[in-house]
Structure 1
Amino acid sequence: MTARNVWNSDQYNPLWGDVDDYTFPHSHPPSRPNTKALQDAVAGSRAAGLPDISVSPVQGKFLALHCRASGVTHALEVGTLGGYSAIWLASENPQLRLVTVEYEAKHVEVARRNIEAAGLADRVEVIHGAGVDVLARLREEVKAGKRERFGFVFIDADKPNNWNYLRLAKDMVRPNAVICVDNVVRQGKLADSDTTDVMVLGAREVVEKAGKEPGVDSVVIQTVSDKSYDGWLWAVVG
């Protein structure tokens, strides 16, 4: 067994990574066309010094398969990092066009390079800017008919703005679209009502407010992987 425990968590169980190591090569053999692009994106991001906090391969494929099963043609991502999840979404769905938003200029540069190397630059638009500002602008463009409504939204950015991102995204999606907010369970700290951790407080805010928001039906899904114990908020709009 090889323990990775990238979050240095005392809750880490090496079996979580071992199960992924066993199952993933069967569900996504190395011969798949997007394997090299994904591996190169990971390597390029690490070489550039980006943090190793992208979704796991299993999570990336799950999100991409959701988009395929739902017939999503336009998706939105908040938090590009090095473009790994963006490459998953676009490479598994040739019909999909993705808008992805990133605040850090270095991340934008690396992501654009990785996405271009993957041959996806024509379908993945990387926008540099603060998430709230960019989403507010995108919302106006959608309302004006200048952009298509999105069928899927993946939020994986600065956690204190989780609710702001969901609230803005809600106005840009088509009926029955999913908005997924990553990293809300935070190794179980989500359940700590006494926390002062701003990351956990951002997760608690989006969970609590999504449950009260008209037109939103949500659930929190706990996950384990080689990146330890966490989870998603999965919200259906409309």
Structure 2
Amino acid sequence: MSSTDANLALWARADEYHDSFLIKPDPILDSVQEKTKARGIDYEIAVSPAQGKFLHLLLLSINAKRVLEVGSLGGYSAIWMARALPADGKVVALELEDLHADVIEENVKAAGQTEKVRVIRGPALQSLEAMPDSTEKFDLAFIDADKENNTNYFIHAKRLVRKGGIIIVDNVGRRGRVADPTSTDSSVEGVRALLRYIKDDPEVEATTIHTVGVKGFDGFLYAYNGKN
């Protein structure tokens, strides 16, 4: 076993050990993962159970009512977040692929969260551009789509999330490649562009939290919108 494989196994084991104490068995979410995989969608790139619960707890802690999700895959993270919202809360999930959108709606229905999750189909950037500033503000935006458009998504999230709200951008660790000057991967470049943008933005405060676990070495960017 290579050192990389050994690290992945160690991180996954640690993640699963903690989850065994802190995350209760959930047949519904297990079924969501299984159905997503069965429909040919790469469910492995969805958030992990620990990450899903983190989003859930974060929404509970800020008494969130409205969430914007850019990229929803099979609806796993949308369900975690919807469960944290009050009965009249809403997750607005933007999804490019029709197959993914169909699966999201099926999974959300099976999880009993149809009233809380609205799926908007099509290119996320177009969907965001169509949302007026006057729309009721979101408490949190979770960006987990193509990394090349990270900055564009972030700029729209800023105007759609309330002052004092939160913007989270997933998968910004990229196995450490963002800090590697020899890496020219387009997803890595997308993260770098976002970091450069935020550095010169006086309206937000942000930090990156690097993570290891069942998803390997990655991380998320956490931004506070509307710095005083």
Query: What TM-score bracket applies, with the shorter chain setting the length?
Result: over 0.9
Worse-superposed segment, 153-162 or 13-22: 13-22
| The one of 40, 44, 49 aligned to 2:35 | 44
CA contact under 8 A between 1:221 and 1:231: conserved in structure 2? yes
2:46 alignment partner AA: S
Q: How does 1:85-234 map to 2 (within 5 A)?
A: 85-95=77-87, 96-138=89-131, 140=132, 143-144=133-134, 147-234=135-222
1:45 alignment partner AA: T
Alpha-carbon shift at residue 211 of structure 1 (Å): 1.9
1:6 aligned partner: none
Q: Helix, strand or coil: the match of 1:122?
A: helix
> Could you tell me the percent identity over the aligned residues?
40
1:82 aligns with 2:77: no
Task: Spell out, residue by residue over 1:188-227, the C-alpha distance to the aligned partner (whole angstroms, 9 max, x if none).
Answer: 0010233211010001111121121121111111001111
1:69 aligned partner: 61
CA contact under 8 A between 1:179 and 1:234: conserved in structure 2? yes
CA contact under 8 A between 1:11 and 1:228: conserved in structure 2? no
Alpha-carbon shift at residue 234 of structure 1 (Å): 0.7
Q: Helix, strand or coil: the match of 1:50?
A: coil
CA contact under 8 A between 1:83 and 1:115: conserved in structure 2? yes
TM-score by length of 2: 0.93
Structure 2, unaligned runs of 5 or more = none
After the TM superposition, list the runs of 4 or more consecutive aligned residues in structure 1 that deviate by more than 6 angstroms.
Answer: none
Q: Distance in 1 between matches of 2:199 and 2:167?
A: 13
Q: Distance in 1 between matches of 2:83 and 2:220?
A: 22
Q: Distance in 1 between matches of 2:148 and 2:110?
A: 32
TM-score by length of 1: 0.89
Task: Spell out, residue by residue over 1:96-132, the C-alpha distance to the aligned partner (whole angstroms, 9 max, x if none).
Answer: 3100000011101111100011111111001101011
Alpha-carbon shift at residue 11 of structure 1 (Å): 7.6
1:17 aligns with 2:16: no
Task: Spell out, residue by residue over 1:121-172, the C-alpha distance to the aligned partner (whole angstroms, 9 max, x if none).
Answer: 111001101011001112x1xx23xx32001000000110000000011001
Worse-superposed segment, 204-213 or 218-227: 204-213
Alpha-carbon shift at residue 21 of structure 1 (Å): 1.4
